[in-house]
Amino acid sequence: MALQITFVLIAIALAFAVSASAGFGGSLVLVPALALLLGTKPGTALAALLLAANNVMKVWAYRRTIPVKRALVVVVLVAVGAALGALLFVAAPEKVVAIAVIGSFVLAFVVERLDLTRAKVLGTHLFAFASGALSGFSGTSGPLKGLAIRNLPLDRLHMVGALSLASLVGDVTKTVIWTGANLIPPGGYLLTAAAVPLMVGATLLGRRFNTRIGERGYTYLFWTVMTGYTARLIAGL
């Protein structure tokens, strides 16, 4: 039991730090860790609750660099997609979803390299909705949310702010639906309250790291998280 608690706390702290640094990516660590210990549904639901609470801290930390107007359409589409995905939690075959996301990631990478502006505008809205839907029925949005926000004309701090807001809305939407479906495991809200100090510390550490790495460093960090998402999907095939 002690080892399990230690494992969970380490996973929570690492997830929160990655999320605060890059603006997203916490689910990459937290969802598989909690699903391994608690099972797919309760682990995924608890991860959504923890990440939703952590995103409150992130939104507060980046409150001065949240581009609400520019990111509003993306955030709304993420919320709508997350609601639909959460209601269809286990409807889609996991392998089909993973293949589709990997294909989307490759396509989006090519679009960015070639600077196809029209395709990027269309992709922003498409990726935003798809990321919410994917997050709703798999617990993680994969690379799509990052791609949707990256297509907006934002510097790194405003990009992290936009990602934090989109993550908050998506995770809160999932948490509300999964709480109503009794998927949050017993003690989940108590664990979330106990993890608040970790949220504060990891968020401040992640924000400090983000402000020091510069635009090029953030680009490397962004694509490292994106590659991690894709590697996880490939490993699950």
Residue-level pLDDT at 115: 54
Determine the Cα–Cα distance for residues 149 and 32; give it in Å rounded to an integer.
24
Q: What angle do CA 17, 125, 107 make, to 5 degrees?
A: 80
pTM score: 0.77
Q: Over the range 68-84, which residues count as b (16 or more CB within 10 Å of their CB) and which as e?
A: eeebeebbbbbbbbbbb
Contact (Cβ atoms closer than 8 angstroms) between residue 61 and residue 157: no
Q: Which pLDDT score is estimated for 103?
A: 64
* Nearest alpha-carbon partner for 170 in 99, 97, 84, 234: 84
For the chain, what are the domain ranges? 2-235
pLDDT computed for residue 9 by the predictor: 79
The rounded radius of gyration (Å) of the Cα atoms in the chain is 16
The secondary structure of 113-140 as a DSSP string is HHT-HHHHHHHHHHHHHHHHHHHHHHS-
Closest Cα partner for 28 from 237, 236, 183?
236
Instruction: Note whether 131 and 141 are within 8 A (CB).
Output: yes
Q: Which residues contact 68 (CB under 8 A, 6 or more apart)?
A: 165
Tokens of 207: 């924000």
Q: Distances from the Cα of 75 to the Cαs of 79, 115, 138, 229, in angstroms?
A: 6, 23, 19, 20
Cβ–Cβ under 8 Å, residues 37 and 237: no
Q: Is 71 helix (H, G, I), strand (E, B) or coil?
A: helix
CA distance 138 to 67: 27
d(CA 46, CA 62): 24
Token pair belonging to 161: 């702010």
Neighbours of 11 (CB within 10 A): 21
> What are the average pLDDT values for consecutive 10-residue runs of the chain, which has 237 residues?
73 81 75 77 88 90 90 92 83 62 60 53 76 79 75 84 91 92 89 89 81 72 68 64
